Amino acid sequence: MSKPEFHLRRMQSDGYATPVEIYAWNELPRDTEQSRRGFLRTTVALGAVLEGMGRAAQAQAPAAANTPPPQKALRAHSECVTEIAFSPDGRQVVSAGDDHMLKIWPLDGGALLHLQTIPWREARGRPFVITGDGRLVIADGTQVDLATLIVSKPDRKPSLATSDSYVIASDGSLLAKNSGSTITLHSLPEGTLVKSWRVPDLHGRLAISPDNRILALVSRVGLEIWSLPDGVRLGGASSTRAADGFWGILEYVAFTSDSTHLVTGHRGEDGWKIWSLPKATLAKDWITEEPSGVAPLMSPDGKSFVTAGSATVKIWSLPTGRFARALTGMPAPRAPLAFSRDGAMLATQSGTGTQIGLCLVADGRPMRLFEGHPEPVTAAAFSPDGRTLATGDKGGTVILWDVASGRLRTYLFDAKASTGEGLSYNVYDTITKRTVTYTMPCGSPLPPGATCICNCVPGTFVASSPVGRGVSGGTNCICNKICTCIPVCQAHRLLHGDAIVRRLAEELLLVMGQHEFGYLRWAASRAGKGLRARILQIMATITGGANANPARWPEIEQCVPYLDDPDEIVAIMAAQMIGQHCCHEHRPVGAVVQGKVDALLEAARKRPWHVRAAESGR
Amino acid sequence: MNTAPTLSAELFVIPVDHGHLVYAPLRQAAFLTNAAGVNRIADLQAGTHCPGSEEADALVEFLRRLEIVDSGEETQPLTSFKGVPKPTSVTLFLTTACNLRCTYCYASAGDTPLRSMSMEVARRGIDFVIANAVELGEPAIELAYHGGGEPSVNWKTLTASLAYARDRAAVAGLRVHAAMACNGVLPDYKIDWIIGNLDGVSLSFDGLPEVHDAHRVDIAGRGSSDNVIHTIRRFDEADFAYGLRLTVTREHIPHMEASVRFVCENFRPRNIQVEPAYQLGRWRDAPSAETAGFIAGFRAAQAAAREHGREIAFSAARVGSLSNHFCGITQDSFCLTSDGEVSACYETFIAENEWAKTFFYGAYDAATDGYQFDIDKLDHLRGQSVDQREFCRGCFAKWTCGGDCYHKSLSVNGAGEFQGSDRCHIIRELTKDQILARIAKSGGLFWHEERVGNEKSAGKEMLL
């Protein structure tokens, strides 16, 4: 066998006649027959690559200090996420939002697979169910096979008015809707009318029992139940008068999984009733101590019922209604969000509302606390195997978490739902088959398939997936927090004659930390012997764990005179340090000083990178 | 002061369809370019670079950002061992007996002379690594069960040795990481023990039941897939950490994709390793599976795995893990045979093995109540790291393959200087795939990753 020799050597072919090009190598969906391994190669001019690496985007990048929190624009939906569910095989996540979009995603956090508009935007009801055989059934009768993503439309779509409420049977075979005066029953997916009957002015919520035999309606009047599909009234009960003299408005209704009991609830007073079926005989009536107005949650096996008070979440046994236990140990548990499929784990909104607490139902013991949502969490679902938790928030962000480690796996990302100013990203859109550039706030986690073309320093593209290398989850843009040019310039002022300037340089490098090592190495390679040694020393200090130390920072008053320093880099460093003080101590500065700081930082951002690079080599 | 840009990375140029893959393994950087790009970089290397043009400056800047230019000296991932070994890991070859008679068994397990490790042999090895760990200040020892037969057949020593190790380690304030290679044909009580006591298991399972049963048969020639699938399901139910190793014979190469798909659709292993059957032991005279067909099959299987969000692995293609070693044979690997000899190689487990004289480098000495090592032999083994192999010098895969399996190279080349093998071609092709996949995953234009230390344990692919 001949000896391998792959070391760099001159090519004898088209050596110099053609311009240098960089080939893009993108993975394509498997069904796209572009090449033998599902990869597509396209040609990109070198200038464009470098442009993409940051030169052009740099000029437009806003100051990090002025950008919103990193994740804010990394959205799956443009508005509040209202529903999340997994396919039965756990491979897909389905989310729905107030943007009236229903979206299907692969669990691995890849690109959006399918979009569907939610019909009847104003009508009240859960917009879809996922059946046990893997069909997504939407309220207008549209069905999506989650394995193949084949969409089938009904021959006749049931119509709904904005004030109607509706419910889809769990097996997707029935749709019941209530107009307030008439209840109509449609078979799905055909959409044909099965039965209708009149009800006297009863707007409210509907539920269909898991065995499809009973329809329940709760309203301001009380509870009504009918047999299905014939619509024969089985029973009912009037709403009771609450302690304050008002009639309680029933607005929660759910069947136990064995269809033998029904739970109803009042708004405001948090009174719950358990009814035996099929006659709607009252079996248990109790009031929780701390009314919160938060919707309760029933476990998948119908044996546990979770209510939320202002400071506690309590678990009750069904059908007895006996108090089982309270969740303790989690910071301010709020609304219950989701049970795992086996009922063993419960996810709750916690703390400020942006956290998710996970606890064991058996003993109420806290397991994990997930932090990362920029807005209050509004929806959650466990994967069937319980390994992944999907959560959505009020701002449209959807996050997949690794339950075992408690770490973030990835964000679900739809570029169309994500707007914001800041850095630019290239995203290969698998739906339109085009590469599109979007802008994101500085520091955003990059969605899978996206290329950061912001003014990141080289070497800061790191795998972000917290569940290990090689697992999808995109990358984190940990771009320079201040200005690309400054680390170089700062590094070259580490041996400045003025002690304040030296301290500015040292402390700002510590603020930047290891994120800027790519540049610091470059700066060291351009520096003289003594300066190079000092830069390497600073790097070693940072590697050894040194962090920014505000106690060593030059005071604002000490920095202000340097804003007018003839060395622009010194002036910019002073501006940066004042900015750090303001951020750290939340201390405003005077309008004049602030104006100078803003102007210096803005000027720094607008300087072309290559000019700065050349300067740094002086 | 401006200076001429200087190349600061060991660069390889790998031909790909209509282009060239420029790869800097120690910078963990790569990109695809045309011949003009390669020649401009060659100019930089030769010192004939002509600065000034926009294109030339842009290229230098691009390379600089990938740490290929002006980024100082590279650090080679060199680890070397000297003197008397002080291992903190021990691998026990518990037995040569096996409850299966796999047609392709490299060890001819069940046919070789029956050996069974006594508790005394195990105890000495465990005491030795615990003493070393205490001396070196290590927080844990590693205890592995492997080789030559099915470890779980010697159940008594398996369970007693782990209990002993845990007891002694606890006294010394050490943790024990325990793992085993296993064929998966286990009764439930053994499965229960494994789940409760081991940190991980590497299971041999070939994918589709019909493929598995064609080779992995019991003494009566019956397929073992039902048993192994039961074990895997038990592991999945317990969320136990296990890896699967799929061995592919030549005739089953066309089924690789379906086998991997079967695994991904039905089980949840932590890792999936796919290897061609070795022409060793009972498979010595069988047709080689180390072919271009294997590479094509592996690619198809990899694509199938990725559809399920999974990756499959080949032992010597491991971009992202830099090392000058393939496995422990150059790193004082401390394996004990049933008779108490010290072997450096998992595939050399009794004195009758062809290369036992090469890999056996020590034994217990009752007179000193310690192990005596043949340092000359050990130094010879230590000298097999890839940085000391002339043949591998120009190979782009050297820092990730680490020189591949020395035992296999001996089988192919004999004891002379390494001259390459069919595996080298597989390694290079699959390594190239991994580089391209990383480029694609990084956005499609280039790959560049911060280096996060050396992978000390590279090569321990058999044990989790």
Chain A 78-117, CB below 8 Å of chain B: which residues?
Answer: 91, 106-108
Give A415's DSSP letter: G
Residue type, A267: R
> Does the pLDDT value for residue B243 go beyond 80?
yes
3-state SS record for A279-313: CCEEEEEEECCCCCCCCCEECCCCCEEEEECCCCE
Chain A residues lying within 8 Å of B448, measured CB to CB = 458-459, 461
The closest of A136, A38, A36, A57 to A93, measured between CA atoms, is A136
A54, HSE (Cβ side, Cα atoms, 13 Å): 24
Kindly tell me the burial class for residue A33, based on how many C-beta atoms sit within 10 Å of its own C-beta (0-12, 13-18, 19 or more): exposed
A22 with B32: Cβ contact below 8 A: yes
Asked if A412 contacts A105 with a C-beta cutoff of 8 angstroms, the reply is: yes
Please tell me if residue A529 touches chain B, with a CB cutoff of 8 Å.
no
Phi/psi class of residue B86: alpha, beta or left (left: φ > 0; alpha: ψ in -120 to 50)? beta
Strand ranges for A87-160 from DSSP E: 92-97, 101-106, 114-117, 128-130, 135-138, 143-145, 151-152
Note whether B384 contacts A: Cβ–Cβ < 8 A.
Answer: no
Contact B66 A458 (CB under 8 A): yes
| Cα→Cα distances A224→A197, A214, A227, A268, Å | 13, 10, 10, 21
The C-alpha atoms of residue A12 and residue A163 are separated, in whole angstroms, by 75
Q: Indicate the length of chain A as a whole number.
A: 618
Tens-place pLDDT, residues A187-202: 888 888 888 888 876 7
Q: Give B407→chain A minimum CA distance, Å.
A: 18
**The most confident of A111-115, A117-121, B22-26, B303-307, by mean pLDDT:** B22-26
Quickly state the pLDDT bin for B233 (edges 50, 70, 90).
very high
**Pick from A214-223, B102-111, B144-153, B444-453: least confident:** B444-453
How far is the C-alpha of B357 from the C-alpha of B380, rounded, in Å? 12
Query: Which of B40, B45, B440 faces A39 most closely, judged by CB atoms?
Result: B440
- Picking from B55, B435, B443, B53, the residue whose alpha carbon sits closest to that of residue A52 is B443
Per DSSP, A211 falls in state T
Do A494 and A531 contact (CB within 8 A), yes or no? Answer: yes
Chain B CB contacts of A19 below 8 Å: 36, 55
DSSP state of B288: P
A42 pLDDT higher than 50: no
pLDDT tens for A347-371 read 988 877 888 888 888 877 778 888 7
Mean pLDDT over the full length of chain A? 72
Q: How far apart are CA B252 and CA A590, in angstroms?
A: 77
Say how many residues make up chain B: 464
**How does the average pLDDT of chain B come out, rounded?**
89
* 3-class DSSP state of A534: helix
Interface of B with A in 243-272 (CB under 8 A): 268
pLDDT of amino acid B65: 83
Does the pLDDT value for residue B124 go beyond 60? yes
CA separation for the pair B162, B135 (Å, rounded): 21
Helix %, strand %, coil % of chain A (to 5): 20, 35, 45
**pLDDT of A295 higher than 80:** no
The pLDDT value given to residue A123:
56
d(CA A425, CA A560): 36
pLDDT tens per residue across span B289-339: 888 899 999 999 999 998 888 999 999 999 988 888 888 888 889 999 999
**Pick from A123, A129, A124, A122: nearest CA to A102:** A129
DSSP class of residue B66 equals T
User: In this predicted model, which residue has the larger pLDDT, A4 or B232?
Assistant: B232
Contact B322, B400 (CB under 8 A): yes
Residues of chain B found within 8 Å of residue A610, distances taken between Cβ atoms: 57, 61
- Residues B126-136: tens digit of each pLDDT: 999 999 999 99
**Closest CB from B33, B420, B444 relative to A1:** B420
Q: Among candidates A485, A507, A601, which has minimal Cα distance to A551?
A: A507
Query: Cα distance from B39 to chain A (closest Cα, Å)?
Result: 5
In this structure, the dihedral spanned by the alpha carbons of residues B298, B303, B308 and B314, taken in order and rounded to 10 degrees, is 30
Say how far apart CA B92 and CA B179 lie, in whole Å: 11
Nearest residue to A208 (alpha-carbon basis) of A171, A239, A235, A180: A171
- B22, A8: Cβ pair inside 8 Å? yes
pLDDT of residue A49: 61
Whether the bond between A300 and the residue before it is cis, its omega within 30 degrees of 0, is no
Reported as a single tens digit per residue, the pLDDT across B69-102 is 988 888 888 888 889 999 999 999 999 999 999 9
CA–CA min distance A427, chain B (Å): 8
* Nearest residue to B283 (alpha-carbon basis) of B326, B250, B244, B316: B250
Angle at A392 between CA A386 and CA A395, to 5 degrees: 170
Distance CA(B178)–CA(B200), nearest Å, equals 7
Residue A438 has pLDDT above 50, yes or no: no
Are A531 and A565 in contact by the 8 Å Cβ rule? The answer is: no
Distance in Å from the first CA to the final CA of chain B: 52
Which residues on chain A are in Cβ contact (under 8 Å) with B413? none
How high is the pLDDT of residue A125? 72
Within an 8 Å CB–CB cutoff, is residue B234 touching chain A? no
Nearest to A6 among B12, B34, B436 (CB): B12
Could A451 and B444 be called an inter-chain contact, meaning their C-beta atoms sit closer than 8 Å? yes
- What is the pLDDT at residue A370? 84
Question: Taking a contact as any Cβ pair under 8 Å apart, which residues of chain B between 87 and 106 contact chain A?
Answer: none
Q: Which of A373 and A162 is assigned the larger pLDDT? A: A373
